[in-house]
A = this chain, B = another copy of it.
Amino acid sequence: MDVRGEIDRILSFLERFMEDYGYGGFVLGISGGVDSAAVAGLLVRLVPPGRIRALILPERDSNPESVEHAKLVCETFGLDCEVRNITPILKKLGIYSLQPPATFVPYRVKKEYALKKWAQKGGEMAYELDIEEKGDEEFRKGVAYYRAKHRVRMCVLYMEAELRGYAVAGTTNRTEWLTGLYVKWGDDATDVEPLLHLYKSEVFELARALGVPKEVVEKPPSPDLIPGLTDEMAFGMSYMELDGILKAIEDGGDLSRFEKGKVERAKRLLRLGKRRNVRMVSLERV
């Protein structure tokens, strides 16, 4: 990838987007991960920092490190940011009552608990149960619990955007989009998606070129929705492997150079991605 060329292409696209729809700026949720950091790095090259409303939205079970990384991203790019804890909203919604009480439980313990549960559900299989809306009652509670977080974040981001006539900038990349690694009507509910055409491995390249801090680029990507669970645990392989296979499938390239089991898994992930993307199914008018 020609990283400099790609940055220019995205900036022109975002400029045209603002003109076409008359948005005065952007609202961006900063998670502490590489995708939102890359989008922050793009936006500060497009508009003055005063027209970017950056929000850090942790909740009770977030990894404390995420907030630190999110703050570091904002400092790096000279963005004022507000940390707003969404726990009180989620409490009123009732999501914490779906899980064992954990208010004073350290993150390390929550992580051990979640990882044990994940292993019990058969590891990668849990991702399939999740997307296919299956699993037993306890599993479904876990699904409802984690998805509500991103949906509430979306509500907060849109409220902030609407107060200012700003657009909500999304941070979904192509790998996530194709494989369904997002919350339907949560982090996919945005006005504009500057990274949607790029595989995760390309987002890493972009992030480095944009000056995203190395702490953020080098840690294992995680949605930070269930303590300790990383993206690669859901996929059952690394992003490098997955993106390689996805690109080969897209380009009609040779798949024999990849492990057979992983190619099958990648194809299954593509089917799951289509399943997650089912929305507003309707009849044609006759």
Contact = CB atoms under 8 A, between A and B. Distances in A.
B191 A280 contact: yes
A7 to B, nearest CB: 12
A144 B170 contact: no
A21 interface: yes
Contact of A282 (B148, B193, B281): B193
A82 to B, nearest CB: 12
A284 B6 CA distance: 12
Given A165-B133, A185-B158, A285-B197, A191 B279 contact: yes
A156 interface: yes
A192 B133 CA distance: 15
A151 B155 contact: yes
A140 B159 contact: no
**Size category of the binding interface on chain A:** 35 or more
29 contacts: A9-B283, A9-B286, A17-B281, A21-B133, A22-B132, A22-B133, A88-B92, A89-B92, A133-B165, A140-B163, A140-B165, A144-B158, A147-B159, A148-B155, A151-B158, A152-B155, A155-B155, A158-B185, A170-B280, A174-B285, A188-B280, A191-B280, A192-B281, A193-B281, A193-B282, A194-B283, A196-B282, A197-B282, A197-B284
Q: How many subunits of this chain does the assembly comprise?
A: 2
A158 B165 contact: no
A163 B141 contact: yes
A78 to B, nearest CB: 25
